[in-house]
Every structure is written in structure tokens, then in C-alpha cells.
């Protein structure tokens, strides 16, 4: 698939490297494509990965992944506007400390007919880089519009090395926010560290 990742920081670079290794075409949409750190990332990734300006990034994508600060989501979605139509949109962003951490409403408003998902928001990026802990595959709980696109998102999560666990439609996003809060508490307040995930088990 052609995946546009907006943001090339911890989340963007980690997901992008994995997807490129799985044969996806990855393009980073960033504020400054010539920035030293962006160029260093591209050089490290090789495989034809490119970076373009955010304003035109989403034009020819199958999937647009938002990996920028939550506070930048409204302006970025407005900037991209109709480019988002018909694309699978994945929101990884967290407005930490806010009652609603994600930006699904912003995306729905910007692209009412596009399938939207909230994923890769509940765990630190280290768990995407190394998705196995103590011999167990890390689970990734996610939500969003069902239908055929859910299979595509499942596959993208699997390509990272994670086990996808679909929680439900966008109305279940508050459960992911709760899980994110739990992760922050266990990782930092309780001192378990960032390579930490929650496992669903059952028959
Ligand atoms: N870090 C984690 O473990 C983690 C886990 C789950 C979810 N998240 C969420 O994922 C998102 C990205 O986190 P991250 O750790 O990857 O952040 P990061 O390393 O700081 O990278 C942020 C990226 O967003 C870009 N950016 C910053 N301000 C922007 C703006 N106003 N408009 C457009 N782009 C902007 C940055 O580009 P410049 O170089 O131009 O500043 C950079 O490429 C955040 O919403 C975060 O809450 C993070």
C-alpha cells in the first residue's frame, strides 16, 4: 500500500521503517523535508522512502497516518482538506491530559466519507519497535470504522509485528484513552518502564 505518515518522529519513523521493510511504499509528510533529521532518517531507511511537504502529502495515498502532536491535528486536517477524502485515516495522536485524547472528530469533519481508525496510541513507540516482551507478542488494541478497511488496518498492525485486537467502532475510542492512561501510570508512576504492554488472553 502507499502509506503517507504525517510526522517523522518516534512514532512516524518506527512505523514507517517497519512498513517499508514489509514492502509498503512509505512517504513522510513533514514541515521541512530537507531538515537534517528527516534526511538522516531517509538515508537510514533507503528503499526509496521519500519525504514531502505536509500540504501536498496525502494526494495519492491509500492510507494516511497521523503521527504529529495532538495539538496540531485540527490545523493539519484543515490544511489537507479534500486530499483526505477516500483514504484510510489512522490517528495515533494523543492530546495527553485532555478528556478526549484522540482527534477522530477532527478527521470525520475533514473527510466525512473516509474510514477512520484510532491505533498505535495506547503504547509507547518502543513496543512497536520491539513488539515482543518476555517471548509474548504485544497486543495492539484499536478501534474505528469496520468494513473492508478494517482488514487493511489489521494487516498494517500485523506488519509491525503486533497482534491486532479490534475493540469496536469509533464510539469505543474512550476505552483506548483509558488504556493509554493506564499505560502512563504503570510505565511512569509505578515504574515498570516504557517497554510495557497489556495482553488479552482467553480461549
Ligand atoms: N512517543 C510515543 O511513544 C507515542 C506513543 C503513542 C502515541 N504517541 C502520539 O503520537 C504522536 C507523535 O509522537 P512522537 O513521539 O512521534 O512525537 P515526536 O517524536 O516529537 O515527532 C513529532 C513529529 O510531528 C512533527 N510536528 C511537530 N509539530 C508539528 C506541527 N505543528 N505540525 C505538523 N507537524 C508537526 C515533528 O516535526 P518537526 O521535526 O518539524 O518538529 C515530528 O516529525 C503524538 O501525538 C503522541 O502523543 C506517541
- Tally of CB atoms within 10 A around 44: 10
Closest ligand 1 atom number to CA of residue 10 = 16
Q: How far is the CA of 11 from the centre of ligand 1 (A)?
A: 7
Find the Cα–Cα–Cα–Cα dihedral 98, 87, 26, 199, rounded to 10°: 50
Query: What is the C-alpha separation between 115 and 149, in angstroms, rounded?
Result: 7
- 72 within ligand 1 shell (Cβ under 6 A): yes
Q: How far is the CA of 79 from the centre of ligand 1 (A)?
A: 17
CA-closest candidate to residue 157, choices 179, 134, 174, 141: 141
Closest ligand 1 atom number to CA of residue 31 = 40
Domain ranges within the chain, ordered by starting residue: 2-189
Instruction: Please state which of the four CATH numbers 3.40.50.300, 3.40.50.720, 3.30.1360.120, 3.30.479.10 is assigned to the domain occupying 2-189.
Output: 3.40.50.720
Q: How far is the CA of 68 from the centre of ligand 1 (A)?
A: 4
- 158 within ligand 1 shell (Cβ under 6 A): no
Q: Is 0.85 topped by the overall pTM? A: yes
- Tally of CB atoms within 10 A around 66: 32
Q: What is the pLDDT of residues 6-31, one digit of tens each?
A: 999 999 999 999 999 999 999 999 99
Q: What is the pLDDT of residues 146-174, one digit of tens each?
A: 888 999 999 999 999 999 999 999 999 99
- 79 within ligand 1 shell (Cβ under 6 A): no
pLDDT of residue 48: 85
Q: Which long-range contacts (CB under 8 A, 24 or more apart) does 36-42 make?
A: 37/8, 38/8, 41/8, 41/13, 41/16
Q: How far is the CA of 67 from the centre of ligand 1 (A)?
A: 5
Spell out the residues 6+ positions from residue 185 whose beta carbon is closer than 8 angstroms to its own: none
Q: What is the pLDDT of residues 98-118, one digit of tens each?
A: 999 999 999 999 999 999 999
- 13 within ligand 1 shell (Cβ under 6 A): no
- Output 154 or 60, whichever has higher pLDDT: 154
Helix (H) or strand (E) holding 117: strand 116-118
| Ligand 1 pocket: which of 31, 130, 131, 176 to mutate (most atoms within 8 A of CB) | 31
- 122 within ligand 1 shell (Cβ under 6 A): no
Amino acid at each position: 500500500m502507499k502509506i503517507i505518515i504525517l510526522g517523522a518522529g518516534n512514532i512516524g519513523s518506527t512505523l514507517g521503517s517497519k512498513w517499508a521493510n514489509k514492502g509498503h511504499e512509505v512517504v513522510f509528510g513533514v514541515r521541512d523535508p530537507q531538515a537534517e533529521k528527516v534526511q538522516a532518517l531517509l538515508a537510514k531507511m533507503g528503499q526509496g522512502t521519500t519525504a514531502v511537504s505536509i500540504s501536498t502529502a496525502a494526494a495519492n495515498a491509500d492510507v494516511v497516518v497521523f503521527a504529529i502532536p495532538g495539538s496540531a491535528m485540527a490545523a493539519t486536517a484543515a490544511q489537507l482538506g479534500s486530499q483526505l477524502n477516500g483514504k484510510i485515516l489512522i490517528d495515533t495522536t494523543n492530546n495527553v491530559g485532555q478528556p478526549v485524547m484522540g482527534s477522530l472528530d477532527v478527521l470525520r469533519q475533514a473527510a466525512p466519507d473516509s474510514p477512520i481508525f484510532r491505533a498505535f496510541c495506547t503504547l509507547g513507540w518502543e513496543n512497536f519497535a520491539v513488539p515482543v516482551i518476555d517471548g509474548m507478542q504485544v497486543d495492539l488494541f484499536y478501534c474505528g470504522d469496520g468494513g473492508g478497511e478494517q482488514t487493511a488496518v489489521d494487516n498494517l498492525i500485523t506488519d509491525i509485528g503486533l497482534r491486532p485486537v479490534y475493540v469496536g467502532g469509533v464510539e469505543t475510542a474512550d476505552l483506548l484513552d483509558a488504556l493509554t492512561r493506564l499505560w502512563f501510570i504503570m510505565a511512569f508512576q509505578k515504574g515498570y518502564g516504557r517497554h510495557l504492554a497489556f495482553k488479552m488472553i482467553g480461549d
